[in-house]
Amino acid sequence: MAFEVTVDVLRRLLWARGVPTVATDDELIEASRDAKHKLGITLLSAFAAAGRTLTPAQETELGHHRERIERYRTAWKEVHAVAPGAYRVKGDEIAQYYPEGVLRPSSDLDVVIRDPAQLWAAAHRAIELGWEIGALTVVENRDGGDPDILIEAQIRGDEEIFGIYYGVELRTVDIPTSTRQPAYRVPDPYGSPLAVNTIALLAERWERDFTSRDRLDLALMVDRFTEADQTALVAAPGEIGQDPIARNGVLRTPGSSGASGNVCSERYRFPCQEASTNVEALRHQGCVFTEKQQETLRIERHDRCAEQMLVLA
């Protein structure tokens, strides 16, 4: 029987992560919201799915998260329609292993589109739908080819509730690290989505420590591995240079605690600071920007890739 997300499983996970075993359900919900856990909405929705009566405020909170999840699903359909080679990482790819009614909130939507032409088509579509280009990052290609591209599309909506904009990251690589070094590609991404999403989640160690939700997600995915998935997972670190997954020992002990680097946190800014404005780079691709979009557009330039931007034109 496959590992499932239940109130009991979440309770035991929180106990193991330091929440007192004598905590009441309300105290457990409050503790689960801590940044160390990030399980508040998941636990709340699990209680609801188990038949517990929620307060009106709790019902409203779950409603806001359901709307946000649906908006990202709609955005994915639009992207995939113009970029059929695209695939998602994390987000709903992990949420599909949660039971019906139990929520896995997402702060953004991560989409890998290895074909640059399809990536630009997806960026065009996002702009047509009212999204703004918040950042365009160019990174040296690890194989020496055309530079890799990361586009952050953002739109306002319920930031007064969540404190952040909706964000869709379109990129030609699976695991970006920073503008200081080339990014990584996972071999055969279509062969084992479970392995790809496990690696994408493990790569979060580049930026931060693991939360209780990360441990839950890893358990859900690894429990569903076939032999083919295991083979793909073992092969991938060799392809991406054993860094940081093997170096951090994460594959040996998935979800284990430990120090993590913070070399790519600068990718997440809106609008991007300390970056040069360069709307022409996107105009060459045929994108038309409003004055407001031009003001918010920033491009983080990698020294060795700046000149290669012309190749994309």
pLDDT in tens, 141-165: 878 788 899 999 999 887 778 878 8
* More confidently predicted of 166 and 206: 166
Q: Where are the domains of the chain?
A: 1-54, 62-312
pLDDT in tens, 213-269: 999 999 999 999 999 998 888 777 655 544 444 444 344 333 333 333 222 223 322
pLDDT in tens, 20-75: 999 999 999 999 999 999 999 999 999 999 999 999 999 999 999 999 999 999 99
pLDDT score of 93: 96
pLDDT at 117 over 90: yes
pLDDT score of 239: 52
pLDDT score of 237: 61
- SS3 for the chain is CCCCCCHHHHHHHHHHCCCCCCCCHHHHHHHHCCCCCCCHHHHHHHHHHCCCCCCHHHHHHHHHHHHHHHHHHHHHHHHHHHCCCCEEECCHHHHCCCCCCCCCCCCCEEEECCCHHHHHHHHHHHHHCCCEEEEEEEECCCCCCCCEEEEEEEECCCHHHHCCCEEEEEECCCECCECCECCECCCCCCCCHHHHHHHHHHHHHHCCCCCHHHHHHHHHHHCCCCHHHHHHHHHHHHHCCCCCCCCCCCCCCCCCCCCCCCCCHHHCCCCCCCCECCHHHHHCCCCCCCHHHHHHCCEECCCCCCCCHHHHC
pLDDT at 184 over 50: yes
Does the global pTM surpass 0.85?
no
